[in-house]
A and B are shown apart, each in its own frame.
Chain A
Amino acid sequence: MTRHALLLAILMVVSAAPVAAQSLLGTRGLGVPVAPVDARGRALGGIGVGLLGTSASFLNPADAAGAPRKGVLAAVQPITGTVAVNGASDAFGGARFPVMNVLYPIGTRLVATAGYGGFLDQSWAISTEGRIVVGADTLTTSDVLDSRGGIARLQLGLAYTLTPALAVGLGGGVYTGGLERRVARGFPGAEPPLQGYDERFRWDYLAPHATLGVRWDPDPALRVSAAVTLSGELSADSAGGPARSATFDLPHRAVVGASAMLGPDLMAALGAERTFGVAATRTDPSQETATVTERETWRLGGGLEYTGVRRGARTYPLRLGGSWLQLPFHRVDEGPATEWAFGGGGGFRFGEASAPLALADLTVERGRRSGLATANASGLSESFWRFTFAVAVFGQ
């Protein structure tokens, strides 16, 4: 198992950043929030903490307490949809790796974790065609503004079981990642031909964070979990091209989640996340006037899981849930944006339900993001299908 876990870990670490165009809402601020949640967590509301059973989320390091086996969990998340901007629409799509987490029990009370997952996604790309007059010539232009990258969260954690009902966790790490913005212009059909314009701006991100969490199981059928993450200043250092370095304050966040067995095979989960500690309006140091505002946001979600379908040593859970969240960034002259999604899915567990040897899950969500309306324009809306696949393997 160790060799496979290592391979999985390497694979997911090298590819954990967002990989393709995701959302035009990522054009605002530092991008669209990405929850480091696996397929089960997405189906149960997208919060990912306080879930009875096995979860890949590392938002609360205390949630790993009691894990009986070494294991690695990872997810991949393709998305496809339609974006409409002021009456015009087009398709978009992409994929990201929202989370991977490694569990490593040390003794009977301590579990070490290493997690890497999404935080903010700035992957998007826009192309425009036009005609311009240059001197005596009229030229057709083909412009591309392409943004790839984002901020990921790397976290090492320790979970300690104080009592069978109470566990605490401590985590720390960095927000890391990078961003490449490409601005390109071509002149298709120009005669004589013209060299194109192709400029790339690169930044590297780095910021510290620390998390303190607690998990309480007042009853074997009830779990409550909460954590607070404090974030330091994010430095965006120029890493190529004429990019200018800048620093930004990142919000702190508090997350709470709970799940309860409503019956022998039916679980309900609820959760919420709140960001706090951000200035209402922020000024990019490279700008003379404030153009982007960041707000303190809520993320809410919940869902149901039914585990009554079994065959031999395998369990086939079924899930249904929904989530709603506020997107943090918009321009000062725009309205804020929100996202909702409803979905369901299933999977299988091999082995005991509380400590499986392997699992695989799939969640399909239908959702919509909208916002950025101004006094003169209706803004942007995105309808999407989001698929989240997750697998995990555990040692004996």
Chain B
Amino acid sequence: MRGTLAVALVLALAAAACTEEGPTAVGGGLVKGGELRTFEVVLEAGQFLALDTAIAGYAGPAGAGYQVVANAFGGALQAHSLTRFVSLPDSQQVVQAGGGMAWDRNLTFVGGQLTAVVDTLRSVVEGEVEVHLHAVRQAWDPGSATWTHAVDTASVRTLWEQPGGTRTASGSTLAWAAGQDSLLLVFDSATAAALAEASDDEQGLLLSMMGGQGRLRIRNMSLHVDFRPSTRPDTVIRMLVPVTRRTSVYTPQLAERAGTPRVGGVEGWRTFLRMAPTLEDLVVPCGPSGDPGSCTVRLGDAVLNRAELLLEPVPPPAGYAPTDSVALTATTVLRPAFVPLERSPLAQVVGIADAIPASAFGGDSEATVVVDVTGFMRPLLGSDAQAAASDWLALFSPPDGGRFGMGAFSGAPRLRLVLTVATEVQLR
């Protein structure tokens, strides 16, 4: 009993003694060593980058979820929308004059109407333009068609007989001015017949733009075709024809790689940056701004508080200017062996920039885009031993291909680092 009491007493004393004490708010000048210095370093591209390349092809017009029709946009861009529909039927059940239903195998297509819903916020038109509707007159592949090729797959490449899509003469024309949210293109029997008579590989409607300058973004389309049954020639019946595939073809087409940073666009540009392998050995000034040479430190010996990639927006290639804000996300890149860079999967998101307004890419903006890449740089510089270091960083604009216009940046990105170093902590 006596021993138990003593043990209990000591345990209680120990527990009471083990309370955590906070630091004192005085005495900051007592200690030599361990003094902290936080400073900023801005590295030029040549100091921190080993490779900087932009690659396209992570998206395409066939899967974009929108179509583009353009004329001389940015002084250069021509674009046509191509839409394939369910094949028009060669027979249809028709209500007879005396009642009842009967199959009519001798339909006469007399016209129709294409309705295109325009994304007015992302369409730019100077003045009034004309939109023309055509029937396609050559077999084409909705998944691979380009301005020059009707089919452009790995095994088959077929040129359009007419660049931009071999087509009939315009079957319908409509004037369109900024602000109108839809296009109603009524077409005649010739266009309807062309649709009905086309083979499955050939069938499709093409929209082009003439006059003025602009780029229309079409969100979706619906097609109604009118036919006259042979059994009731006095009656016109309208049928809805669903869309099956759609794409856009455009010129100029850009090379698949560029030497300056690009993100987004209809072809899903991504920019890959590889950090210099000896970055942590780079010696940088850490002295006060008035006397930066008074102190130097190896980057790997400092602790990284924040890292920002600084990008200067520049005008994208003609015709590819964004019409609304551009999102920008930075991720690490997995580099499995034997996998080329363009197929390397993206890994962890490390930074998201504020939405970049379209005006920043106008050429006269002095805006700087800041991407927080602290999470990427800390393992690389040894400031975070727990995280795996990757020296590849990708910039892209999610979702890939979500906008036709892209973000482009100067080929000289900079890296702003906020670092802290401590003077050596002395034992005594």
Contacts and interface: CB of A to CB of B under 8 A. Distances in A.
A78 B17 contact: yes
B19 A20 contact: yes
A134 B288 CA distance: 9
Interface stretch (A49-57, A60-68, A197-205): A197-205
Contacts of A3: 3
B340 interface: no
Contacts of B422: 183, 197, 199
Given A185-B420, A196-B305, A8 B6 contact: yes
Interface string A63-79: 00000000000101110
Interface in A74-99: 74, 76-78, 83-86, 88-97
A29 B420 CA distance: 26
B408 to A, nearest CB: 25
Interface stretch (B25-33, B183-191, B269-277, B317-325): B25-33
Contacts of B6: 4, 8, 358, 360, 391-393
Interface residues of A, number: 88
A93 B304 contact: no
Interface in B376-428: 378, 383, 416, 418, 420, 422, 424-428
A244 interface: yes
B25 A127 contact: yes
B425 A183 contact: yes
A197 B21 contact: no
A125 B22 contact: yes
Contacts of B424: 242, 244, 286
Interface string A187-214: 1000010111111010100000000000
A195 B26 contact: no
A4 B7 contact: yes
A287 B305 CA distance: 28
Nearest to B30: A27
Interface stretch (B34-42, B196-204, B211-219): B34-42
Interface string B89-116: 0000000000000000000000000000
A89 B26 CA distance: 6
Nearest to A77: B17
B24 A24 contact: yes
A309 interface: no
Contacts of B428: 28-30, 248, 284, 292, 329
Contacts, number: 190
Interface stretch (B8-16, B168-176, B259-267): B8-16
Q: Among the interface residues B9, B30, B289, which one has the most CB atoms of the partner chain A within 10 A? A: B30
A132 B38 contact: yes
Contacts of A380: 27, 30
B14 A143 contact: no
Q: Among the interface residues A12, A20, A27, A76, which one has the most CB atoms of the partner chain B within 10 A? A: A76
A88 to B, nearest CB: 4
Contacts of A124: 24, 27
A183 B36 contact: yes
Task: Say what secondary structure dominates the interface of chain B.
Answer: mixed
Q: Among the interface residues B3, B4, B304, B374, which one has the most CB atoms of the partner chain A within 10 A? A: B3
Contact of A7 (B7, B22, B25, B425): B7
Contacts of A21: 21-24
B306 A125 contact: no
A380 B30 CA distance: 9
A358 B30 contact: no
Contacts of A242: 424
B339 interface: no
Contacts of A243: 425, 427
A236 B20 CA distance: 26
Contact of A97 (B14, B19, B20, B427): B14
A282 B174 CA distance: 94
B255 interface: no
B17 A134 contact: no
Interface in B58-98: none
A132 B37 CA distance: 9
B23 A127 contact: yes
Contacts of A329: 428
Nearest to B2: A358
A43 interface: no
Given A92-B24, A97-B17, A291-B32, A192 B427 contact: no
Given A95-B17, A192-B372, 11 more contacts: A11-B10, A30-B427, A30-B428, A126-B28, A129-B25, A133-B289, A145-B31, A195-B378, A284-B426, A329-B428, A358-B6
By Cβ-Cβ distance, the 5 closest A-B pairs, closest first, are A125-B23, A95-B17, A4-B3, A135-B40, A128-B28
6 contacts: A30-B427, A126-B23, A143-B36, A195-B378, A196-B305, A197-B305
Interface of A: 1, 3-5, 7-8, 11-12, 15, 19-21, 24, 27-30, 74, 76-78, 83-86, 88-97, 124-129, 132-135, 139, 141, 143-146, 179, 181, 183, 185, 187, 192, 194-199, 201, 203, 236, 242-244, 246, 248, 284, 286-287, 291-292, 329, 331, 350, 357-358, 360, 372, 380, 389, 391-393
Interface of B: 2-4, 6-7, 9-11, 13-14, 16-32, 34, 36, 38-40, 42, 289, 303-306, 372, 374, 378, 383, 416, 418, 420, 422, 424-428
